[in-house]
Structure 1
Amino acid sequence: MIPAPTLHTARLTLRRPDARDWVAFRDFMLSPRGATFGITTEGRAFRQFAAELGHWDIYGHGMWTVTLSGSDAAIGLVGPWTPPDWPETEIGWMIYPASAEGKGYAFEAARAAVDHAYRILRWDTVVSYVAPDNTRSAALAIKLGAVLDASAATPDSCKGYQVFRHPRPDALDKGEAA
């Protein structure tokens, strides 16, 4: 297993996902809140979770399990996602329990992930693919400073999605746009 960095923010820990996170992931994916991802069976949820775990071993990076500092319970998954059929490098996010929404956790974790992608992974660009009806994710991308890029390509599985392009952290520090 490739060692993975653990990120810490003011309130969160972002750690490599593992088997203990399966139930929270499955329950989210099979809930109405997870419907955006199109996973409708436990088998498909399992295969997607296995892909999340394997992404780290294949690429040396991947989405982190998000926990509240001092807790090990998974409240979400946030971070780099770069399958071979993705046209660009993406930062994705999902927060599992509805009780964790509206508290800024997704913003805090995604901001750390975007920063890591640019500064540590040395990515030239970062996008987020957002389903057209996922207004909360679109609002989060905008809050993160990302701008809609109507000319950007989307993965085949994300046709019709919006593409938000994230600014480099140094541009955010200076108050510049992407």
Structure 2
Amino acid sequence: MTIEDWPAYEQLMRSERSRFMGGPTPKYVTWGIFSHDIAHWTLFGHGALMIDDKTTDKTVGQVGLNHGPLFPETELGWFLYDGFEGHGYALEAALRMRQWGFEEFGLKTLVSYIDQKNERSCKLAERMGAVIDPDAPCLDPDDLVYRHPAP
């Protein structure tokens, strides 16, 4: 992530499109979330990466591993900017980030916290082989916890 990613990120988080990620959020909250995504690399050795289309070099979304006091377990999360769904970007990026988390970073478990109304993300988690873990801790009662299979 770079400062060049900020305008599109801010636009997403201030829009109705961010409703499954705690949004829409005011600018100062959005900046805190953006900074949080970057700070993970320093604090935990992992964090968020922007997803770029390989042919156009256009940023289409984000994938990341979230951890720390806001997350009961390490989370694999993703989002796409408007107009980029249905092209396989999120699936490819999330599968690769999950593989990296398990194989290269050494995670033993990985979950995705997904708002139960976010049907697209629920279906993506299921396509990845993740299953709902009703016993997993979760901070948001509207979220489902999808547990990803370890390799």
TM-score by length of 1: 0.80
Q: Following TM superposition, by how much is the alpha carbon of 1:46 offset from its aligned partner in structure 2, in angstroms?
A: 1.0
Q: Give 2:58's aligned amino acid.
A: A
Q: Following TM superposition, by how much is the alpha carbon of 1:71 offset from its aligned partner in structure 2, in angstroms?
A: 4.2
| From 159, 174, 177, the counterpart of 2:141 | 159
CA deviations 1:31-66 (Å, max 9, x no partner) are 221121223211211111011111111111101111
Q: Give 2:47's aligned amino acid.
A: G
- 1:60 paired with 2:42, answer no
Q: Give 1:166's aligned amino acid.
A: H
For 1:89 and 1:62, locate their aligned partners in 2 and report how far apart those are by CA, in whole Å: 10
Which deviates more, 41-50 or 31-40? Answer: 31-40
Q: Following TM superposition, by how much is the alpha carbon of 1:70 offset from its aligned partner in structure 2, in angstroms?
A: 4.5
- 1:135 paired with 2:119, answer yes
For 2:8 and 2:55, locate their aligned partners in 1 and report how far apart those are by CA, in whole Å: 18
CA deviations 1:102-129 (Å, max 9, x no partner) are 1111111000011011001110001000
For the aligned residue pairs, the C-alpha RMSD in angstroms reads 1.3
TM-score by length of 2: 0.93
Q: Give 2:31's aligned amino acid.
A: F
CA deviations 1:55-114 (Å, max 9, x no partner) are 1111111011110114443211102111223111110000112x2101111111000011
Gaps of 5+ in 1: 1-16, 170-178
- 1:25 paired with 2:9, answer yes
Q: How many residues get paired?
A: 150
Which deviates more, 139-148 or 45-54? Answer: 45-54
- 1:35 paired with 2:13, answer no
Q: Following TM superposition, by how much is the alpha carbon of 1:137 offset from its aligned partner in structure 2, in angstroms?
A: 0.6
| From 16, 28, 31, the counterpart of 1:46 | 31
Q: Which residue number corresponds to residue 106 of structure 2? A: 122
| From 96, 100, 110, the counterpart of 1:112 | 96
For 2:67 and 2:8, locate their aligned partners in 1 and report how far apart those are by CA, in whole Å: 22
